[in-house]
C-alpha cells in the first residue's frame, strides 16, 4: 500500500509539472483567441524552435520564439516534423488517485492485474491534449492556427510583434 501511495504522489507531481503557455486558449475559447497556436519545430540541421505560430507562406514558417522573444523564420525544407498545440488540455489529473485508490479494495487479489490497467487508462485520459503533428495535418493547413493566417500585414514589422 505504501508503494501505491508513492506512485500516486509521483504521478500527481509529474502531472503538475506539465504546462503550456498562457496564450493558449481553453477549448471553449478557441474561436476568439487573438494569438497563434504554440508550435514546436524539430529541424534537420538548424536548432529546434518552439513558440507562437505567427504566419507562414509556401516556403517558410515564422515563429515567435519562447526563449528569445523574437520572430524566427524557418525554411520548410529544414523542418523534419512539427507539433502544434492549439488549446490547453482539460485538467483530469485528479482522476488518477480517484480511480486508483479503491482498486485494491474492490478487486482484491485481482488488483495486481487491474491496477496497472487502471493506471494506464487514467494517465492516458489525464495527459491527452489538443495537439496536431505533421502526421495529421500538412503545412498548408497550419495557416488556420497562425496569428496572421493570411500573411503578416504590410504595416506590421516582424521586430514589433510581441
The DSSP secondary structure of 52-112, one letter per residue, reads EEEEE-SSEEEEEETTT-SEEEEEGGGEEEEEEEEEPPP--TTHHHHHHTTHHHHHGGGHH
pLDDT surpassing 60 at residue 18: no
pLDDT at residue 15, rounded to an integer = 55
- Edge-first strand order for the sheet with 71-75 is 71-75, 60-65, 49-56, 38-43, 79-87, 130-133
Quote the pTM value.
0.62
pLDDT at residue 121, rounded to an integer = 77
Lowest mean pLDDT: which of 11-15, 44-48, 117-121, 138-142?
11-15
pLDDT at residue 94, rounded to an integer = 72
pLDDT at residue 25, rounded to an integer = 63
- pLDDT confidence bin for 12, thresholds 50/70/90: low
pLDDT digits (tens, 9 = 90+) for 97-111: 777 778 788 888 888
| Residue 104 or residue 128, greater confidence | 104
pLDDT at residue 67, rounded to an integer = 87
What are the residue ranges of CATH 2.30.30 in the chain?
A: 35-86+134-150
- The CATH number given to 35-86+134-150 is 2.30.30
Amino acid at each position: 500500500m505504501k508503494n501505491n501511495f508513492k506512485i500516486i504522489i509521483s504521478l500527481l507531481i509529474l502531472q503538475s509539472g506539465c504546462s503550456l503557455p498562457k496564450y493558449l486558449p481553453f477549448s471553449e475559447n478557441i474561436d476568439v483567441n487573438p494569438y497563434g497556436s504554440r508550435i514546436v519545430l524539430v529541424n534537420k540541421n538548424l536548432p529546434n524552435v518552439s513558440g507562437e505560430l505567427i504566419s507562414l507562406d509556401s516556403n517558410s514558417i515564422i515563429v515567435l520564439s519562447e526563449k528569445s522573444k523574437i520572430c524566427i523564420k524557418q525554411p520548410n525544407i529544414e523542418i523534419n516534423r512539427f507539433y502544434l498545440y492549439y488549446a490547453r488540455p482539460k485538467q483530469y489529473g485528479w482522476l488518477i488517485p480517484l480511480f486508483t485508490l479503491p482498486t485494491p479494495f474492490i478487486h482484491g487479489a485481482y488488483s495486481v492485474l487491474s491496477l496497472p490497467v487502471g493506471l494506464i487508462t487514467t494517465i492516458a485520459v489525464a495527459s491527452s491534449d489538443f495537439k496536431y503533428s505533421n502526421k495529421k495535418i500538412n503545412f498548408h493547413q497550419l495557416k488556420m492556427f497562425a496569428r496572421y493566417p493570411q500573411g503578416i500585414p504590410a504595416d506590421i514589422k516582424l521586430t514589433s510583434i510581441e
